[in-house]
Each structure stands twice: as structure tokens, then as C-alpha cells.
């Protein structure tokens, strides 16, 4: 009976369900950090991870979306687990959503170079709408209101991620409490994510990766592909528990979405532990090409005391993926 129960739960989490409401935040730099929609991502060994990003979408349009995202997580080798905190603030016109979350991830690693991580995020989804800012074409529309309203509801995400020496596969589902609920101004609908990434960091002068991701929300599915190139340099003078051999110092990437949007990405390692990234989004639709989107991110890693004794997934450290 338990086996049947878990199978039914899996079907509801990852297959399309008739739900319509708000959408997940849009972050072009998720190829560096997928924790917003897959909590299994934080199971990265050997360091305390700090992340922050800011996104200004459709520059030039009043009330255009702006997103701020802050995360912190750390892996504890003694219990093979990672814990993390995150906070997202998403503002679009008269609406604002805040999403504080607590994340837990468990990691199983094999001696032959594979790792499986399972994660769960729980928190609150706080959404407010300032109706006094609305400018409706039809003021008598009964679905509209012109007062300030705010709701708070529980939120839950779940995800799995598998890695080996070159491949990463992930599957996740967000906002599980909204499964099978009717459309609402104040809830974020269930989303389902699936992705596959190939990475090769064996060349001494560069690394490269290819990735594809599918996102499903109600009756809409968006496909996304990414190609990245990272340049390396020798770092013989730099000492540290995470520094071994040639190190990546500069990266470039390009992403294309089936929603007719292209993204250029770049990043620089300011130090062995600090990276600054930038993303430029450009819509390819004729009515939106004038309005670009900009995003900046910071990643900082503080090596853990146990870094020298941690059993890694093979000989790889999976810094950016």
C-alpha cells in the first residue's frame, strides 16, 4: 500500500495538473544556481555557499518585474546533509510576492563517481496586491478590486538530482500546496522541472557544458537550451582546500528559450572563492525587442573545515553545476 501511495504522489508532483495562477520567478542565471526550483541543488560538499542576485526585467516599462534573491547553505559531511535559507522578493506593478524558505538536502555518493541528492524546501508564500494602483480598461470588471490585499500561505518544493563524472540529471516540483487548486490572484501554481546537463572540465585550458531544461506550468511548457565555455588558468601560487590544478577564471554562455528569448551570460572569478556574473536577456518578439532585461549575481564560497577529509563524487568538485 505504501508503494502505491508514493507512486500516486509522484504522478501528482511531476505530471501536468489543471492549475492556473502566478508563475515562478524568472532568473537567467539559474544555470549556476538551481536552488529556487530544485532544493537538491544545495547538497554541494566542502563549503558554505552564499548567493545573491538581482534582476531588472523589461527596462523602460513602468511597473516591470524586478526580482531579488538571497541564499545561504552549507553541507555537513558527518550527516551527509545540507541545510539552507533563502529569500525571494518579486515585484510586478501593483503586486509583490515574498518567499522565505528553509531547505534540507540529503546526499548519497558512490565510490565509482556518482552522487544522488534529494531535497525539500518549506516556507511561506506572501503575496500582496495594491488595488489602488490598478488602471483597468473596464473599471466595472467584477473580478477587480481597488483596495490593498495580502495573503500568507504555506509553500513546499521537492527535488532530486543525480550526478556522475560528466552528466547531471534533475527533476523537481514547486508549490506543491497549489496542486489541483483553482485559479487565484494570491497563489503560485505548481511547476514541474526536468533538466539534463553535460559538462567536461578535463581540458587544462577550458571547460564546457551543454544543458537542456523543460518547465511545465498548467498547459504551457517551455524548453530551454544552454551552452557555456569557461576559460582556465594555472593557479600554482594560490593555496586552499578547494584549489587544485588549473582554475576557471572567465566564462561565457548563451541560452535560448522556446518563448523566443535569448540570453547572453558572462562571469569572472574575482578570487578563487568569489564570482560575479551578469546576464543580458533579449526578447526576439517584434513588440518586445526594445525592452531588454539585466541580471547580476554574486557567488561566494567559504571552505569548510572538513574539506580535506570529505569524500567527493569521484575526483570532481562540481563547483558551478
- The residues facing 156 across adjacent strands are 122
Instruction: Find residue 233's DSSP bridge partners.
Output: 247
Residue in 102, 106, 100 with CA at minimum distance from that of residue 84: 102
pLDDT beyond 90 at 24: no
Q: Which three cell numbers stand for residue 142?
A: 467584477
Q: What's the average model confidence in pLDDT over 63-86?
A: 91
Q: What is the CA radius of gyration of the chain?
A: 21
Tell me which of 1-15, 133-147, 165-179, 243-257 is least confident: 1-15
Tally Cβ neighbours within 10 Å of residue 207.
Answer: 21
pLDDT of 286 reads 73
- What per-residue confidence (pLDDT) applies to 245? 63
CA dist 292 and 294 (Å) reads: 7
Least confident of 36-40, 42-46, 59-63: 59-63
- pLDDT greater than 50 at residue 311: no
| pTM confidence score | 0.82
Contact 242, 46 (CB under 8 A): yes
Rounded Cα gap, residues 39 and 175, in angstroms: 12
60: left (phi over 0), alpha (psi -120 to 50) or beta: left
pLDDT tens by residue, 166-219: 999 999 999 998 887 765 656 678 899 999 999 998 888 899 999 999 999 877
Gap between the Cα atoms of 299 and 48, Å rounded: 11
Q: Which stretch of 75-89, 145-159, 284-298 has the lowest confidence by average pLDDT?
A: 284-298
pLDDT of residue 95: 85
pLDDT at res. 135? 64
Cβ neighbors of 61 (< 8 A, separation 6 or more) are 291
pLDDT at 58 over 80: no
User: Which residue did the predictor score with more confidence, 17 or 100?
Assistant: 100
Residue 20 pLDDT greater than 50, yes or no: no
Is the distance from CB of 311 to CB of 109 less than 8 angstroms? yes
pLDDT in tens, 75-107: 888 888 999 999 999 988 778 899 999 999 999
Average pLDDT, the chain: 81
Burial 154-169 (b: 16+ CB within 10 A, else e): ebbbbbbbbbbeeebe
* Full set of structural domains in the chain with CATH: 2-309 (2.40.160.40)
- Tell me which of 25-39, 53-67, 151-165, 212-226 is least confident: 53-67
Amino acid at each position: 500500500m505504501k508503494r502505491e501511495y508514493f507512486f500516486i504522489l509522484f504522478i501528482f508532483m511531476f505530471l501536468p495538473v489543471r492549475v492556473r495562477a502566478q508563475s515562478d520567478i524568472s532568473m537567467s542565471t539559474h544555470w549556476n544556481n538551481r536552488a529556487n526550483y530544485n532544493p537538491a541543488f544545495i547538497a554541494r560538499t566542502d563549503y558554505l555557499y552564499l548567493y545573491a542576485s538581482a534582476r531588472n526585467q523589461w527596462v523602460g516599462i513602468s511597473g516591470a518585474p524586478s526580482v531579488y534573491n538571497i541564499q545561504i547553505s552549507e553541507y555537513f559531511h558527518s550527516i551527509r546533509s545540507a541545510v539552507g535559507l533563502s529569500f525571494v522578493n518579486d515585484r510586478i506593478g501593483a503586486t509583490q510576492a515574498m518567499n522565505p524558505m528553509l531547505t534540507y538536502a540529503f546526499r548519497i555518493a558512490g565510490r565509482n563517481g556518482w552522487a544522488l541528492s534529494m531535497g525539500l524546501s518549506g516556507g511561506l508564500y506572501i503575496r500582496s496586491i495594491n488595488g489602488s494602483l490598478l488602471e483597468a480598461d473596464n473599471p466595472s470588471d467584477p473580478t477587480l478590486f481597488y483596495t490593498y490585499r495580502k495573503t500568507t500561505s504555506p509553500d513546499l518544493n521537492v527535488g532530486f538530482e543525480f550526478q556522475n563524472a560528466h552528466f547531471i540529471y534533475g527533476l523537481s516540483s514547486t508549490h506543491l500546496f497549489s496542486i489541483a487548486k483553482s485559479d487565484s490572484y494570491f497563489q503560485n501554481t505548481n511547476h514541474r522541472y526536468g533538466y539534463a546537463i553535460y559538462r567536461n572540465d578535463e581540458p587544462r585550458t577550458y571547460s564546457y557544458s551543454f544543458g537542456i531544461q523543460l518547465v511545465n506550468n498548467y498547459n504551457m511548457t517551455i524548453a530551454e537550451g544552454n551552452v557555456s565555455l569557461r576559460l582556465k588558468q594555472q593557479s600554482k601560487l594560490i593555496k586552499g582546500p578547494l584549489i587544485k590544478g588549473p582554475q576557471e577564471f572567465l566564462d561565457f554562455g548563451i541560452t535560448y528559450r522556446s518563448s523566443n528569448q535569448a540570453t547572453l551570460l558572462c562571469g569572472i572569478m574575482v578570487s578563487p572563492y568569489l564570482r560575479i556574473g551578469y546576464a543580458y536577456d533579449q526578447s526576439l518578439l517584434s513588440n518586445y525587442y526594445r525592452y531588454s532585461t539585466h541580471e547580476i549575481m554574486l557567488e561566494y564560497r567559504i571552505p569548510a573545515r572538513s574539506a580535506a577529509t570529505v569524500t567527493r563524487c569521484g575526483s570532481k568538485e562540481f563547483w558551478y553545476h
